[in-house]
Structure 1
Amino acid sequence: MLLTVTPNPALDKTYLVDRLIIGRVHRPLEIGEHAGGKGINVARAAVSLGLQSSATGFLAGHNGDLVRNRLEPARIEDGFVTVPGQTRLCIAIVDRDTGTQTEINEPGPTIDQAALDLFQERFSALLERSHTVALCGSLPPGVPDGFYAGLIGQAKSRGIRTVLDTSGEPLRHGLDAVPDFVKPNATEASDLLGREIETVGDAAEACRIFLERGVKTVAITLGRCGAVGADETGAWYAEAPEIQFASAVGSGDVFLAAFLVKWLQGADLSERLQFASAAGAANAMVYGAGVFETHTVQNLTSRISVTRL
């Protein structure tokens, strides 16, 4: 089973407006609401692609109940622990006219030591039935920056594949534990390495640095410019297909899920990168994170060119 860790899940709300104008009242054309947070998005996408998945982290208050109620219909096994406070609300406003997206993300509940101890017990139990652990997203207040690093160490000690998709200090600390796979986007990798990543060549060089630090596989997503992946066999670039764009929310998470599905099937890096890029693009064609049509993924896969660098 794939175990996803989302320390800071969210109730995601998406508003589609004709044109976002600061200081004006807007009445959305469409409203979407779903369980969010990077790990939940990964689990939702993985299930859609046929991979049994569970999700754990911290849920709190009424918003937490709304998130939990949406897990079973998505066929995601609920491994969350309940804590005091209120799960965050994350709002995305999509401007149909310009194709841009504005996000407002709350910080999440403050996690105390008792909640951290309870989580550790739950995480240890869930590891018993997991072959891969994906550690995803930001950390809520009260959770130390080294949180992911500790979980990576626990999973690796049991021979479980580890995946890290976060940013800032949690990414920096997590890399010290040497996860098997990391998937930053260009901005996250730039911030970590202290160098601009604007071209495919820049991304390939960044991948090389990650590999030198012991990571087995790395993929850096470049948005509409595609993605670069690298492992011990070399580096590859996947072009982004032309699509009818709707929203980028969750596309990186779907990319990660699809990459893992192909990895577990034994596909080589170029195949993983191609399929993951297609899945991420399919997500960008609809409103909602971790939501896509599987037949669209198949159609897009054949249109994506993958080149060895």
Structure 2
Amino acid sequence: MVTLTPSPVVDRVYFFEDLVPGTVNRALTVEQYLGGNGINVARTLRLAGNLTRAVAPVSAKDPSGLELMRREGELIRTVLVSPPTRINTVLVSSDGSTTNANQKPGLLPEAEWRSVCEATLDELRTLDADWLVVAGALPMTTDGNPVDLRWLLAQVQQLGVKVCLDVNGADLGRWATSGLVDLVKPNLPELESVAGRQLSTLGDVVAAARELVDAGVGTVLASMGADGLIGVCPNGVRWARVPTAPVINTTGAGDAALAGFLSEGSTITCGNGGSPWTIAFSAALARSAAWGALAVACSTTLLQSLNGTPDVTVQEPDATFRLNHY
């Protein structure tokens, strides 16, 4: 499996006993590491024993970013680019609340974006990968337009590799209906952005996900925080959640959940229905929910172990269930 993080970051994470907005707060500890959704997914997959490579562009003028990449060893394929590496600030309180200040991606010359795409294709061939995960913020080119994924996704399709897209709502809406994407993983606000309406119940979430499936996406894995995950594909829908899960830190939970689904379901397709499909799809969703729960219960923002996964319930969704978000 190969992941692409189009605009990675250096995450600076501050942990507080009690964080009071508008006042001076003293952090108990501070961590710094290379981040970005695709990198986080790759780390978790590696933790599970999956053969994984993360492609990430990093500024050639950023010694700290290059050093953080070097520490990751063979996990990361570095592509040198000219824009400075982003810095994100994450504030984590002991009650589990998390505040993120994310820097906007820099402008990337089209020639450098093409180099990133070619490095990604090279890794797919080298690993004989079955999935490409494009995850995280998409940068703009120097002419002010979003980077164009079409050439890359078309090349990936020709290789027979499946594509997972985990990007923000605007970019998700643009590419999810391109006919080049097999799996998308929106969170609730991103799915609402694509649907153009508020989603208050499980039935609303399922309906919005089905619209994406009807538009050509193979599978929608929608994360809903404490309400779990909904998996929708042409042959059915399942709802997975952990009945009780302690929340210490929510950063990276969605990435862990996506890694869980792909680790269990890297060869899963919806098939033509029936019991084998139901069992396989439910198992992938169960691992997705379990790994997400492990992530929010972790005191750091990087999963250190996949031991002690909680119990998960997987069932057909209750369309009338009202989401805790509302």
TM-score normalised according to structure 2 size: 0.86
Question: In the alignment, does 2:210 pair up with 1:239?
Answer: no
Q: Structure 1 residues 133 and 183, CA, compared in 2 at 3 Å: closer, same or farther?
A: same
- State the shift of 1:134 in Å: 0.2
Contact 1:12 1:36 in 2 (8 A): yes
Equivalent-residue separation in structure 1 for 2:81 and 2:307 (angstroms): 39
Aligned to 1:133: 132
Q: Structure 1 residues 94 and 149, CA, compared in 2 at 3 Å: closer, same or farther?
A: same
Q: Please, which of 156, 174, 197 is the counterpart of residue 195 of structure 1?
A: 197
Equivalent-residue separation in structure 2 for 1:49 and 1:247 (angstroms): 21
Q: Structure 1 residues 307 and 118, CA, compared in 2 at 3 Å: closer, same or farther?
A: same
Instruction: Output the amino acid matched with 1:44.
Output: R
Q: Structure 1 residues 177 and 190, CA, compared in 2 at 3 Å: closer, same or farther?
A: same
3-state DSSP class of the match of 1:176?
A: coil
- State the shift of 1:265 in Å: 5.8
3-state DSSP class of the match of 1:94?
A: strand
Q: Please, which of 69, 79, 82 is the counterpart of residue 77 of structure 2?
A: 79
Equivalent-residue separation in structure 1 for 2:149 and 2:251 (angstroms): 23
Equivalent-residue separation in structure 1 for 2:188 and 2:42 (angstroms): 23
Question: In the alignment, does 2:32 pair up with 1:33?
Answer: yes
Equivalent-residue separation in structure 2 for 1:216 and 1:120 (angstroms): 23
Contact 1:108 1:140 in 2 (8 A): yes
Question: In the alignment, does 2:318 pair up with 1:306?
Answer: no
- State the shift of 1:195 in Å: 1.4
Aligned to 2:93: 95
- 5 Å-filtered alignment, 1:77-226, equals 78-96=76-94, 98-129=95-126, 130-142=129-141, 144-145=145-146, 147-178=148-179, 179-226=181-228
Question: In the alignment, does 2:63 pair up with 1:62?
Answer: yes
Gaps of at least 5 residues in structure 2 are 269-278, 318-326
Q: Structure 1 residues 263 and 271, CA, compared in 2 at 3 Å: closer, same or farther?
A: same
Gaps of at least 5 residues in structure 1 are none
Contact 1:41 1:289 in 2 (8 A): no
Q: Structure 1 residues 198 and 32, CA, compared in 2 at 3 Å: closer, same or farther?
A: farther
1:212-244 CA distances to partner (integer Å, 9 max, x unpaired)? 011111111000111110112210111233122
Aligned to 2:320: none
More displaced 10-residue stretch of structure 1: 238-247 or 45-54: 238-247
- State the shift of 1:191 in Å: 0.5
Q: Please, which of 262, 265, 279 is the counterpart of residue 264 of structure 2?
A: 262
Q: Please, which of 279, 295, 301 is the counterpart of residue 283 of structure 1?
A: 295
- State the shift of 1:168 in Å: 2.8
- State the shift of 1:59 in Å: 0.5
TM-score normalised according to structure 1 size: 0.91
3-state DSSP class of the match of 2:42?
A: helix
More displaced 10-residue stretch of structure 1: 274-283 or 112-121: 112-121
Over the matched positions of the two proteins, sequence identity in percent amounts to 27
More displaced 10-residue stretch of structure 1: 157-166 or 174-183: 174-183
3-state DSSP class of the match of 1:26?
A: coil
Contact 1:221 1:227 in 2 (8 A): yes
Question: In the alignment, does 2:285 pair up with 1:273?
Answer: yes
Equivalent-residue separation in structure 1 for 2:300 and 2:151 (angstroms): 31
Contact 1:7 1:140 in 2 (8 A): yes
Q: Structure 1 residues 177 and 71, CA, compared in 2 at 3 Å: closer, same or farther?
A: farther
Question: In the alignment, does 2:291 pair up with 1:293?
Answer: no
Contact 2:11 2:33 in 1 (8 A): yes
Aligned to 1:23: 22
- State the shift of 1:27 in Å: 1.6
Q: Structure 1 residues 176 and 207, CA, compared in 2 at 3 Å: closer, same or farther?
A: closer
Q: Structure 1 residues 120 and 295, CA, compared in 2 at 3 Å: closer, same or farther?
A: closer
Equivalent-residue separation in structure 2 for 1:185 and 1:55 (angstroms): 22
